[in-house]
Amino acid sequence: MTTTLWRNARLVTLAGPSGWGLIERGAIVVDGATIAWAGVEADRPDTLAIDADIDLGGALVTPGLVDCHTHLIYGGQRANEFEQRLEGASYEDIARAGGGIRSTVAATRAASDATLFASARDRALALMAEGVTTLEIKSGYGLSAEHEARCLAVARQLGRELALTVRTTCLSAHALPPEYAGRADDYIDAVCAWLPALHEAKLVDAVDAFCERIAFSVAQTRRVFEAARTLGLPVKLHAEQLSDSGGAALAAEFGALSCEHLEHLGDGGVRAMARAGSVAVLLPGAFYFLRETQAPPVAALRTAGVPIAIATDHNPGSSPTLSPLLMLSMACTFFRLTPEESLRGMTMNAARALGLADRGRLVAGQRADFAAWNIDHPNELSYWFGSNPCRRVVVGGVERQA
């Protein structure tokens, strides 16, 4: 294994429970794919034999970004619905009229594997250009055993072919496919029945559902979660995005890794999440694009000690963004997170939302995933918007080529 010294850096370690953990004149020793040591360069223990030495030119270095909630794999796009919404239709109106998620399902089913892969690859590359080193990808636009498997396989292929970690989430309970119209319970039975085969094929790292009045009920979501539990798969949930449906409390009952969106989360849901240790994944891109006005209860989440993560929620209907950095900015402007909370939300807390304890901070023992930025202070990551100061990215100890 090669041991590399990454020197002449200003490290944003996020090592403690709060604060940036800034180390001036810092260095990182990487052994294989793991951080062996991080600290002030002058204090580097001479017991660590170094094979290679790389000068980071005084750059500010943070943990690699973790985008813990995306729907990256789909056919087509929905700019026409954006126009309809500008003319007054609501997201829910469009969904009820058979558009929305279901129109993307039709386009996804019609797309070849190669087309799905090529379009998702371009999107992943855009996220990676802004420092993303770990990416969650949900299914949910196939909505049949065959097409869900195809989409999850494309996600796996991205993980093999690109220099980042991909975690897959099965979101088959995303919307009711047309062939099950009026038979939501039968569709949930079908989802529960195909989950074991997807798991057997090693296509699923976690299970998600959309619990909402335009999607699936708490009782239906519970059945999906029971199927996941039987297979030993962790769960997460799209909860309280458009209304307070009680999804977060249900997810907490199943020890969910995370609940996501949460604009309409009430006090009971906050308490349940705190007890379960679930992460609150906030998605300012969807809030912005759907022109929501009710922000998630950030103050209550903070007081209850619920970890907060931020993600792009990239999808063609409610958050067609490929800029994780813009989400950091919006998390501050719309949701009043501090820049430090935003960065923790797209590093260590996002990793936790994926069940990954091995990344998200620059400390010994963590995976060597980090990004070097052309900025003076980490608060600038939430300050600039529409520009990209990312200069270099290291994934598992290896520098990613631009």
Tell me which residues touch Fe ion (CB under 5 A). 313
d(CA 110, CA 116): 10
Helix H, strand E, coil C: the string for 255-313 is CCCEEEECCCCCHHHHHHHHHHCCEEEECHHHHHHCCCCCCCCHHHHHHHCCCEEECCC
Based on CB atoms, which residue is closest to ligand DI6, 14 or 327?
327
d(CA 350, CA 347): 5
d(CA 76, CA 111): 8
Q: Which does 359 bind (CB under 5 to 8 A by kind): Fe ion, ligand DI6, none?
A: none
Using CB positions, name the residue nearest to ligand DI6.
317
Give the footprint of ligand DI6 on this chain (CB under 6 A): 71, 100-101, 104, 174, 210, 238, 241, 286, 313, 315-318
Q: Which does 104 bind (CB under 5 to 8 A by kind): Fe ion, ligand DI6, none?
A: ligand DI6
Using CB positions, name the residue nearest to Fe ion.
313
Based on CB atoms, which residue is closest to ligand DI6, 334 or 373?
334
Amino acid (1-letter code) at residue 142: G
Least Å from the CB of residue 198 to Fe ion: 19
Least Å from the CB of residue 251 to ligand DI6: 14
Based on CB atoms, which residue is closest to ligand DI6, 313 or 369?
313
d(CA 381, CA 374): 10
Q: Which does 367 bind (CB under 5 to 8 A by kind): Fe ion, ligand DI6, none?
A: none
Least Å from the CB of residue 91 to ligand DI6: 7
- Cα dihedral value 366, 370, 376, 378, nearest 10: -60
Distances (CA, A) of 39 to 13, 219, 233, 362: 9, 50, 37, 9
Based on CB atoms, which residue is closest to ligand DI6, 241 or 329?
241
Q: Which two tokens stand for residue 211?
A: 């619990």
Based on CB atoms, which residue is closest to ligand DI6, 165 or 318?
318
Least Å from the CB of residue 101 to ligand DI6: 4
